[in-house]
Amino acid sequence: MKIRRILLAVVLALAGLAGFAAPSAATAAHTVTYNKYSLMLDGRRILVQAAEFHYFRLPSPDLWRDILQKEKAAGFNAISVYFSWAFHSPAPGQYDFTGVRDVDRLLRMAEETGLWVIARPGPYINAETSGGGFPAWLKTVPGRARSSDAGYTAAYHDWLAHINPIIARHQVTRGGSVLLYNVENEYAVNTDAVYMQDLQDTARAGGIDVPITTNDCCDAGSWSSTWGSGPGAVQIPGVDDYPQSFECQNASTTWGPWGAGVTERVRDDAPVFAAEYQAGSIDLNNAGYEACRDLTGVQYTKFFQKGNMVLSGATGFNYYMGFGGTNWGWIGQPNDVYTSYDYGAAIDESRQLTDKYFEFKRQGYFLQAVPPLTKTDPSTAPVAAGLETAARTNPDTGTQFVLVRNGSTEAVSSTLAWNGYSLPVTLPGHDAKVLVGGFDLGGQRLVASTSELLTTAFINRDVAVFYGAEGTPGTTVLRYSNAPTVKVLSGTVSSSYSNGNLRLDYTHSGLARVLISGGGHRPMLLLLGTDDTAGSFWRADTAGGPVLVRGTSLLRSASVSHGSIALQADTSAPGAVEVFGNGRDLTVNGRPISTRTSPSGSLEGNLPGPRAISLPALDGWKQAAEAPEAQPRFDDSRWTVAGKTSSLSTFQPLTQPVLFSDEYGYHAGSVWYRGRFTATGSETTVSLNAITGKRGDYLVWLNGRYLGSAAGGVQADSDVPANPSPGAGKFTIPAGLLPAGKPAVLSVLVQNMGNNDDWTAEDSRFRQPRGLVGAAVDGVPAISWKIQGRARVDPVRGGLNNGGLFGERAGWSLPGYRDGSWPSATFAVPAGVTWLRDDFTVDLPRGQDTSVTLRFGDAIPQGYRTIIYLNGWMLGQYGAAIGPQTSFVLPAGVLRQNGRNTLALAVIAEQPATVTPPQLAVAGSQRGGVPVRDVAS
């Protein structure tokens, strides 16, 4: 990626609260407009705080709701969603929007959850998906992809004709959730303005009437002012920023190698939009996603995101990724990712909340609390020696937003000279604050604070939560017309009043509580916390007023009516709960909770934690070997004849005929080849080449004798220096194997990985073949070939779930397959393909969200790879050649939580091996959760 970006740079050089209330199911139609500062909904300024979510990476639609609720609970008011053409279209003209592809349901869920949607239907999406979202069949359609060429245009028109109507009917302009429509993706080289314009014209003709945006990668201002209003220019240009790069192995030493991460303004008549802002990373170097979460951890999230908030003036943010998910089936692009797309995101692949989630929550709540941030101009910043400062001011309200940042790794203590005050301030290393001054906070007037504002609500009186790093000093100054009464309910806070200003000084520690009354304003409860205590607050806005909750591990939703507060919440341990809300009674998940009223006016009670989980041992494995295709007498009469002599790939076949699997309609996973020739008896060597994409391999048999294996090639990716002989393997023919004058059969199993992306809009990358690209036996003039791949499109799992292994074709991966005659597993496998199957029953506690994983040994074996199917769903690949992953998420729903399940493992061994079987493990369990139905299997 990095190399690509540098190359690209060279190429280019040469050439609120109430404020941001979200949609709800019953909302009416709205208008969306914008100007330099922000988007406006019905004329009211909004700030968009979005988390990127890929439904296609979570094959259990009920869990989409879990993720959406978690994003909402962190203060996000939007999700950004790529729609993957490849995921919906297994063949030209065939589209599927049912089951795990039911994006209409996804958009409805977003509405129900109260989240706006930035819809990104591509057609090109990148996203480390196979083909960058292009269906593999597009490789055989003439016309350069991502251009206005006729063949490509006809193909993408068909996709947009299917996806646009779904998006259109969910626009905010029709009472739905879709707020922005994103065309293309980082379209910066080999561009074609006619195409870019046609995408927009097609959208408009298809009923899209929300503003159109695009995400630009390369600071070139593409499709914005550079192009003016010329063909292809979008209304709201977005910019992608990945300041931390993708070298997760360098997590501890990396700090902004790709720049300051300040989203550029590229057009004066539209708001600054951070279309993709780094919030995690792909794991290019197999460091593991915990390293990626470190690379983009809490300090990064504070330093860069808060910096961007003030320095850029952006009022639209989308964090990539909010939740990454899983490259199940063959949806992943092979070069940059393996099965897990955890991404080091704030919500991990097993749907658990990480430390970073709580930093997002602190920032998200703040953004909702300060509507004046939707309209600001740069202003003179107060100074603090040793610290970086910057400021913006709202020209209408005078509200100031002051960035204070510490770029060093050590804590810095200084004095901030601000609004006539000298305020002590300490920032830990790589920390940042956005401070607010001159702000009407409920019925109060905030003059200045060195504590950050988390949230503010009217709950019988004004309640405001401020916070700062544990042990650092804090000062908050509020204006009154006469001296108010200050009552410190808990913690240590000193106060003084002079000239109309009340000054509170304290050290951030735990949660101090201060009640202020009189002074000409309505009463206020000030809660002064630390990062941790502030992060423990949850907020929900209900028709009966706002609710603040502490002590649950998540707040999904709340309602307040007739003096009763009802929460839907998760708990990860038993413990105390505190609720600030307009009610006297409390129910949590439908259960009444006995409470008392605290001196702070909140309700206090206790909540039960989750019940204990017991998972069955996986100890009933059965085993069967396959690969009959390797045997000379195997009946391949119904296989496809591979006889083409040309293809649209820029890669020329090394021998004839063309054996590229896509040419014969086999687009995902394994393919088998059988080549026939008449032997002379003097042949010595089989020479093969296969391009599989990174991490692939192939196995070779001659007349039923296993000859060995080789790694598949990746050549024709512009990152890789030209290699005329990709994925080469030479195999010695044992003496006597080929009797003279007798027919011989060469059998080759190629493990194709996904397809390359098309990031640079070059057909060479995207049309790179998969499968054999060269095959010769010395002295043999011609081999006649047949090919076999995936049997059919799985009616529920789709076209990317299965490849063409014998067992996949015969249903060995499916739960209904009768394996009664299979012997108990010995786990000793020969070279070739062996299947292991185990049925097991789980009975997880109901009303509890348990995330189960399949865990293999940490020492990843060499020499074989394992493809994992749970109830027929291909959920991952394990092996040293694949990546560092040892734990595989089994999503609830695909995993029947109260019932019988079938695991099938296809072990593809390059040499005889002994397999260590995996076990089930719990990644997290909380009382609560969302109802999850079984996914059709």
Active site residues: 186, 276
Cβ distance to ligand GAL smaller for residue 328 or 677? 328
CB of 216 to ligand GAL, least distance (A): 10
Q: Which helix (H) or strand (E) holds 841?
A: strand 832-843
CB of 148 to ligand GAL, least distance (A): 22
The CA distance from 690 to 696, in Å, is: 9
The two structure tokens encoding residue 222: 């593409």
One-letter amino acid at 126 equals N
Between β-strands 400-405 and 388-393, what pairing exists: parallel, antiparallel or unpaired?
Answer: antiparallel
Strand ordering across the sheet containing 554-561: 554-561, 564-570, 585-588, 591-593
Cβ distance to ligand GAL smaller for residue 132 or 807? 132
CB of 84 to ligand GAL, least distance (A): 11
Cβ distance to ligand GAL smaller for residue 240 or 431? 240
Sequence-distant (6+) residues with CB within 8 A of 286 are: 338, 883, 884
CB of 576 to ligand GAL, least distance (A): 40
Cβ–Cβ under 8 Å, residues 260 and 278: no
Burial 687-712 (b: 16+ CB within 10 A, else e): bbbbbbbbbbbbbbbbbeebbbbbbb
Sequence-distant (6+) residues with CB within 8 A of 929 are: 66, 570, 847, 848, 849
Cβ distance to ligand GAL smaller for residue 276 or 717? 276
Single residue of 140, 185, 296, 389 touching ligand GAL by CB under 6 A: 185
CB of 185 to ligand GAL, least distance (A): 5
CB of 133 to ligand GAL, least distance (A): 9
Identify any residues that bridge with 222 across adjacent strands, giving them in sequence order. Answer: none
What is the SS3 string spanning 65-96? HHHHHHHHHCCCCEEEEECCHHHHCCECCECC
Q: Which residue in this structure is represented by tokens 């998910």?
A: 325
What is the SS3 string spanning 406-435? CCCCCCEEEEEEECCEEEEEEECCCCEEEE
CB of 532 to ligand GAL, least distance (A): 30
CB of 74 to ligand GAL, least distance (A): 20
The CA distance from 390 to 458, in Å, is: 30
Helix, coil or strand: residue 624? strand
Q: Footprint of ligand GAL on residues 226-255 (CB under 6 A)?
A: 240
Cβ distance to ligand GAL smaller for residue 66 or 186? 186
Helix, coil or strand: residue 211? coil
Angle in degrees, CA 224, 227, 231, rounded to 5 = 105
Cβ distance to ligand GAL smaller for residue 2 or 44? 2
Single residue of 32, 179, 217, 558 touching ligand GAL by CB under 6 A: 217
The CA distance from 38 to 366, in Å, is: 17
CB of 363 to ligand GAL, least distance (A): 21
The two structure tokens encoding residue 128: 């480390």
186 forms part of the interface with ligand GAL (CB under 6 A): yes
**Going along 399-510, which residue ranges are E strands?**
400-405, 412-418, 421-427, 432-437, 439-441, 444-449, 452-458, 462-468, 473-479, 485-490, 493-498, 501-507
Between β-strands 388-393 and 377-379, what pairing exists: parallel, antiparallel or unpaired?
Answer: antiparallel
890 forms part of the interface with ligand GAL (CB under 6 A): no
CB of 128 to ligand GAL, least distance (A): 5
Helix, coil or strand: residue 218? coil
The CA distance from 546 to 567, in Å, is: 12
CB of 224 to ligand GAL, least distance (A): 16
Identify any residues that bridge with 677 across adjacent strands, giving them in sequence order. Answer: 744
Cβ distance to ligand GAL smaller for residue 163 or 825? 163
Cβ distance to ligand GAL smaller for residue 215 or 788? 215
Identify any residues that bridge with 412 across adjacent strands, giving them in sequence order. Answer: 427
The two structure tokens encoding residue 881: 């050649």
The two structure tokens encoding residue 306: 């808060």
The binding track of 120-139 with respect to ligand GAL, each residue x by CB under 6 A or -, is: ------xxx-----------
Q: Footprint of ligand GAL on residues 264-323 (CB under 6 A)?
A: 276, 282
CB of 189 to ligand GAL, least distance (A): 13
Cβ distance to ligand GAL smaller for residue 247 or 794? 247
- Of the candidates 134, 186, 128, the one whose C-alpha atom is nearest the C-alpha of residue 335 is 128
Cβ distance to ligand GAL smaller for residue 264 or 388? 264
The CA distance from 877 to 870, in Å, is: 12
Whether the bond into 309 is cis, omega within 30 of 0: no
> How many residues form the binding site for ligand GAL (CB under 6 A)?
10
Residue nearest ligand GAL (C-beta atom):
126
- Of the candidates 11, 661, 76, 33, the one whose C-alpha atom is nearest the C-alpha of residue 346 is 76
How many other C-beta atoms lie within 10 A of the C-beta of residue 226? 14
The CA distance from 521 to 818, in Å, is: 75
One-letter amino acid at 798 equals G
Cβ distance to ligand GAL smaller for residue 186 or 431? 186
The two structure tokens encoding residue 118: 């930035």
Helix axes 103-113, 61-73, angle to 10 degrees: 30
Instruction: Give the torsion sign (CA, 104, 105, 110, 112).
Output: positive
222 forms part of the interface with ligand GAL (CB under 6 A): no
Cβ–Cβ under 8 Å, residues 420 and 429: no
Cβ distance to ligand GAL smaller for residue 755 or 834? 755
Cβ distance to ligand GAL smaller for residue 333 or 568? 333
Q: Which helix (H) or strand (E) holds 116?
A: strand 116-122
Instruction: Give the torsion sign (CA, 908, 914, 917, 923).
Output: negative
CB of 322 to ligand GAL, least distance (A): 13
Which parts of this chain interact with ligand GAL (CB under 6 A)? 126-128, 185-186, 215, 217, 240, 276, 282
